[in-house]
Chains A and B, each alone.
Chain A
Amino acid sequence: GQQLNQSPQSMFIQEGEDVSMNCTSSSIFNTWLWYKQDPGEGPVLLIALYKAGELTSNGRLTAQFGITRKDSFLNISASIPSDVGIYFCAGTTGANSKLTFGKGITLSVRP
């Protein structure tokens, strides 16, 4: 099935550094979501984006909904060890509709 494009598969950064993750699609979505998943846990919603061009922050996280509605990025500033995990982007076309996921990016933070 369709999948959003997330790359690279893994990212390694030093504690304190900023990191940016991109997510692209060949289709338009009405909502973009960013999730973080820790090992053995379910994904946790980090940020939801509803409008093209929207820029939203949640603490050290900032995400933007691309103008074309086909992409989004997530920035993490001043990374800390607990930022380690898998970051998934997801898109949906409407309320109670199924999500299309990216493959996820595994983030490692070196102390």
Chain B
Amino acid sequence: GAVVSQHPSRVICKSGTSVKIECRSLDFQATTMFWYRQFPKKSLMLMATSNEGSKATYEQGVEKDKFLINHASLTLSTLTVTSAHPEDSSFYICSASWGAYNEQFFGPGTRLTVL
């Protein structure tokens, strides 16, 4: 149980285009989903927290107009990187939690490369 999927696993795009990443909880309803960014050999950096049906809460320094998050249902959250630039290239990981549990279950990550 507690499986989280992400799609796509890898994406390469041209500078200036927008990229959407999906995060799904496959066997549970995710009350809250989180989006992280990870640089090589570094820990996970939280970008935003999203609760189903409400606006995401962004961490300091994360541009909400640049990284659009939608959490339309209890099993799906999307992260859209708008007008992507090479510096947006990174490993993006989502996680989901539910109910009264404090654990977060992570997706397999999406490798974004912006040319």
Contacts and interface: CB of A to CB of B under 8 A. Distances in A.
B108 A45 contact: no
Central interface residue in A43, A44, A90, A104, by most chain B CB within 10 Å: A43
A87 B81 CA distance: 28
A48 B107 CA distance: 18
Contacts of A1: 59
Classify chain B: how many residues form its interface, as a range: 20 to 34
A90 B45 CA distance: 12
A99 interface: yes
A7 interface: no
Contact of A41 (B101, B102, B109): B109
Contacts of B104: 33, 45, 90, 92, 99
Given A96-B31, A101-B43, A104-B43, A42 B93 contact: yes
Interface of A: 1, 3, 30-31, 33, 35, 40-45, 48, 50, 88, 90, 92, 94-99, 101-104
